[in-house]
Structure 1
Amino acid sequence: MTVSRFTRVLRRVFFTAVALVSLVLGGVVCLMCQALAGRDAPTYRVEGHVVSHERGALPVGGDEDAVSQTIAVDAGSHRYDITAVDPGLDLPPGQPVILDISRADGSVAYLSAGGGVVDLRSGVVRPVLLIFAALVALGAVYFGAVRLHVYPPVATWLALVLGALLAPVVVFVRV
């Protein structure tokens, strides 16, 4: 194999690798944006009552004394099982509750009972950090590809566009 043929093969392999890395990192960004959008999606209210209540030991963050609360709520045509480490879920069976259900994914966003509200949504720190890390890694990949002159900047941008176009497809198809 000659040097020029080896260089062409190396460029094709590297182009494919950059496109795949773009796909993965773009997928992470899309998935985390989807998680953040689902977190703050509109909700609708459902009234119900607590059917059962269980307590269990759930070590969280090294805290051996943390107690998880699991309740089952009967809301007419649907039953919701809710588990969290929150003293606000310490509700007796028969307690009337109001659930705010996310229109995006059908999960319980808030639980209201006896004047108190329990926020059951996931946090925003992890998705924001993953978005930031993926964008920094994506920038580093493209900076390195252009800086090393492995292939022309036009091909680098083509790989970026390919990754950006395929990433949402992969995320929403859930391959």
Structure 2
Amino acid sequence: MTVLLRRVFFTAVALVSLFLGGVVCLMCQVLAGRDAPTYRVEGQVVSHTRGAFPVAGDEGVESQSVSIDASGRRYDITAVDPGLDLPAGQPVVLDISKADGSVAYLGAGGGVVDLRPGVVRPVLLIFAALLALGAVYIGAVRLNLYPPVATWLALALGALLAPVAVFVRV
């Protein structure tokens, strides 16, 4: 019975570790994509609309949506930033991410709008996942599922190699 129980716990620890390691890798990839190199294209605003954009339950926030034709491709951008209040025909410059093809920056009339995702949520998720991973491994050591040295070596190696692998890929 003890052998069966250890196998079940070992499998559970392995699956939870894989999931948490995946969260760390995904968030590192989000951060790497956020700061990826960009290339510049020029275009012009095709259309502009305003609308309500619910943010944290507040219905009064006004969003700006613009469609831009640049280098034969159409980019549709929606954000809460008032810098997107651009008239149709306005010339713009877009910085496009080489990692995923999303618009990182929009420049128009001397102003620049940063359209990249924030860093707070990915950093908090990385921290929480690594904390949970440490708790899982501490629990595994206390239940004598793994030898302590092997557990901490695996945790340190995984925590170091997962972000490195993602950054090298990008």
Q: TM-score with structure 1 length normalisation?
A: 0.84
Q: How far apart are 1:77 and its partner, in Å?
A: 1.7
Point out the more displaced range, 66-75 or 146-155.
Answer: 146-155
Q: Which amino acid aligns with 1:139?
A: G
Q: Could you list the per-position Cα deviations for residues 86-136 of structure 1 after superposition, in whole angstroms to 9, with x for gaps in the alignment?
A: 100000000000000000000000000000000000000000000000000
User: Paired residue for 2:97?
Assistant: 102
1:76 and 2:71 equivalent?
Answer: yes
Partner of 1:100, secondary structure, is strand
Contact 1:15 1:155 in 2 (8 A): no
Residue 128 (structure 2) pairs with residue 136 (structure 1): no
Runs of 4+ in 1 over 6 A off after TM superposition: none
Offset, 1:63 = 2.9
Separation (CA, whole Å) in 2 of partners of 1:156 and 1:12: 16
8 Å Cα contact 1:102/1:109 also seen in 2: yes
Shift of 1:68: 0.8
CA–CA separation in structure 2 for the residues paired with 1:36 and 1:97? 26
Aligned to 2:83, what secondary structure does the other structure show? helix
Q: Aligned-residue CA RMSD in angstroms? A: 2.3
Instruction: Assess, with a 3 A threshold, how the Cα gap between structure 1 residues 17 and 158 changes in structure 2: closer, same or farther.
Output: farther
Would you say 1:54 and 2:56 are equivalent positions?
A: no
How far apart are 1:150 and its partner, in Å? 4.0
Query: What is the CA–CA distance in structure 2 between the aligned matches of 1:87 and 1:155, rounded to whole Å?
Result: 53
What CA distance in whole angstroms lies between the structure 2 residues aligned with 1:94 and 1:35?
33
Distance 1:159 1:14 in 2: 17
Letter in 2 for 1:58: F
1:59-91: CA deviations, max 9, x gaps?
A: 212333211111000012211000000100000
- Give 5+ residue unaligned stretches, structure 2: none
Q: Percent identical across equivalent pairs?
A: 82
Matches within 5 A, 1:15-164: 15-153=10-148, 156=151
User: Conserved in 1, the CA contact under 8 Å of 2:134 and 2:155?
Assistant: no
Q: Whose Rg is larger?
A: 1
Q: Distance in 2 between matches of 1:154 and 1:129?
A: 28
